[in-house]
Amino acid sequence: MSPDGHRLQIGSLLNARYAVLGYLGGGGFGQVYRGQDVIIGREVAIKVLTLPAAGLDAEAREGLLARFRREAQVSAQLHHPNVITIHDIGITEDDQGDPFLVMQLLQGHDLYTELTQRGPMTPARAQRLFLGCLDALGAAHAQGIVHKDLKPENLFIHQPGTPREALIIFDFGISHILQDARLTVTGQMIGTPGYMAPEYILRQEVRPALDVYQMGLIFAEAITGRAMVYDEDPLVCFTAHQRGDLWLPQRLADSPLGAALARALAPSPAHRFADASAFHDALLALPLEGVRADGPLVPLRSVVAQHALPFLSDFPDAPTQPPADARATVQATPQALGISPAGGAATAPAPAHYRPAGDGSLIVPGPDPEPAQTRPHDVAPVDLAPLVSLPPGGLTIPPSQPPATSHVAFRAQVDAEQATTRRWGFLLITGILGLLGLILCPLASVTYMGLSWLQGDGSEAATSAQENTEKQAPPPSQAAPGAPQENEPEPVRTRARRARRADR
C-alpha cells in the first residue's frame, strides 16, 4: 500500500504486463486504476479487489482465490455489449497477493452519478438504456448466472449524451465473493440494504427474480430521482422490502409502466417476471413517449389493486406509512420532462431526499463529475440479530432460520447426496453378490460330489473287466514259439514282426 492509500503505485508495472497510469476510484471492495497493456498497447481498467486483512486462514483465503478465478472465468464468457469485457485476471505478485481484474476502459460515469448530478431521466431514455441492460441480464440468466448485487453504482453509462450511450453492467459474480469473505470473517450480512430482495433478506435465496427486483428498483429510481427504499437504519429498509412498502408517483402508477414496475417489485419472487428476458419483453412493448413520473406518491399495494394484478395478497392488510422524510410528492424536473434547463446546462441538484453516494463508482477523469463520497452503510456489516425481534408488523426471522443456500453450499449438498448414493449402491451390490454366493456354493459342492461318485464307480467297473480278461486268456507257454501274445501290447507285437523280417 502506497503512502497515499493506493493499493498500486502509479507508474509501476503490474505482473510485468500492465502499466499503472492513474487512479480512477474505489470503495470498500477494491480500487480501480487506469492502465495499459504494454504487450499490445491497449488501455485498460485495472480493478484490484481487497480481501479481509485478518480473520482468514491460509486455506480459506486460497478457497476464495480459487472461487474468484472460477467466477471471473464464467463472467468472461458473457459476451454482450452491455456487460463489461474482462480481458484478464490474476493475483498481484507481492506479499499481499490480492486478486485483480483487467477490464474494458469505459468513458463516462455510473448511474448514481448521473442521477445525483443531472437529475432523473425521462421514461423514454430510461427505457432505451435499460432494455440493453435487461437483455444482457437475460443472457446471463439463460446460462444460470445471477448478478445479485445490482445497484446504480454497478451500472455504468458509457458515452453519455451521445447516440452510442449504453448502460453497462459491472461485477458479475465478483462482488458477492467479497461479501461472502466478510461474512465468513464477521458472521454478519454485508450488502446494500436499499436493494436487497425480500427472499434474500429472509433466506438468502438467489434466483433470476432477485435481479428482476433490483432492476425494478433501479428503473423506478432512474425516472423519479428518488431511491425507492432508503433509510439510515438498515432494519427499516429490510422491513420495507418484506412488506412491499414501496411508493410510486401517481402519474407513473396510473400508466402501463406502473403495472410493469409493480410486477417487477412484487414481494414474492413467484409473482415477478421469471427472469430479465421476460421483464425486457414487457418493457419493450410499452410506449413511454409522454409518460411522466411525478405527482403524489401512492403505495405499491394501491398500484397492484388498481391494475387488478393477481398478487394483492403479498401485501399486508394494514396500510403502509408514507416515506419518513414526509416528501409525499415527486416534483417534475426539466430533465425528467426532457427539457434542458436555461443556459443549456444539463445538470440539476440532487433531490434533498436522495440517498448519499455508494460504493463502486468508476469515473474516468475529464469533463464528467468527480466521484461522490462513499456511503458507509452500503458496505458496513449489518448485524441480523435484532431482526429476530422487531416491533409488531415488522420483519421477523425465526432464530432457527436455515443457513444461506449459496452455490458453494449447494455443491456440497450435491456431493454429499452423490456420496450417499454411491455408498448405498456399493452395499446393494455387495448384498447381491453375497446372496449369489450362498446359493451357488452349496450347488457347486453337490455337483462336485456327484462327479466324484460317478468317476469312482467307473474305475471299479474297468478294474473288474480287466481281471476277467486275464483269467480267460491262455498261458503264454501254450502259444507257438515266436508268435506274439494276445495280451501283449501292440507296440511289442510290432517290434516282434520287425525282428522276424530282419532274420529273413
Q: What is the residue type of 4?
A: D
d(CA 442, CA 463): 32
Give the largest Cα separation in the chain, rounded: 154
d(CA 20, CA 18): 6
Nearest to 108 by CA among 169, 166, 185: 166
d(CA 215, CA 195): 9
9 Cα distance to chain centroid: 33
110, 149, 211, 245: which one is catalytic? 149
- Which letter, b or e, does each residue of 47-75 get, where b requires 16 or more Cβ atoms within 10 Å of its Cβ? bbbbbeeeebeeeeeeebbebbeebbeeb
- Which letter, b or e, does each residue of 20-36 get, where b requires 16 or more Cβ atoms within 10 Å of its Cβ? beebbbbbbbbbbbbbb
φ, ψ of residue 155 in degrees (nearest 5): -120, 125
* CA angle at 8 for the pair 7 and 13, rounded to the nearest 5°: 160
Q: How far is CA 378 from CA 36, 66, 114, 166, in A?
A: 31, 26, 19, 25
Nearest to 84 by CA among 15, 175, 207: 175
d(CA 462, CA 408): 79
Nearest to 231 by CA among 241, 220, 216: 241
φ, ψ of residue 108 in degrees (nearest 5): 150, -140
**Assigned C-alpha cell, 404:** 444461506
DSSP three-state, residue 288? coil
CA atoms within 13 A on the CB side of 388: 8
Neighbours of 357 (CB within 10 A): 21
C-alpha dihedral sign at 286, 289, 291, 293? positive
CA atoms within 13 A on the CB side of 94: 15
DSSP three-state, residue 416? helix
**Assigned C-alpha cell, 448:** 462336485
d(CA 347, CA 115): 9
CB of 218 closer than 8 Å to CB of 155: yes
d(CA 76, CA 74): 5
Active site residue 149: yes
Positions annotated as catalytic residues are 149
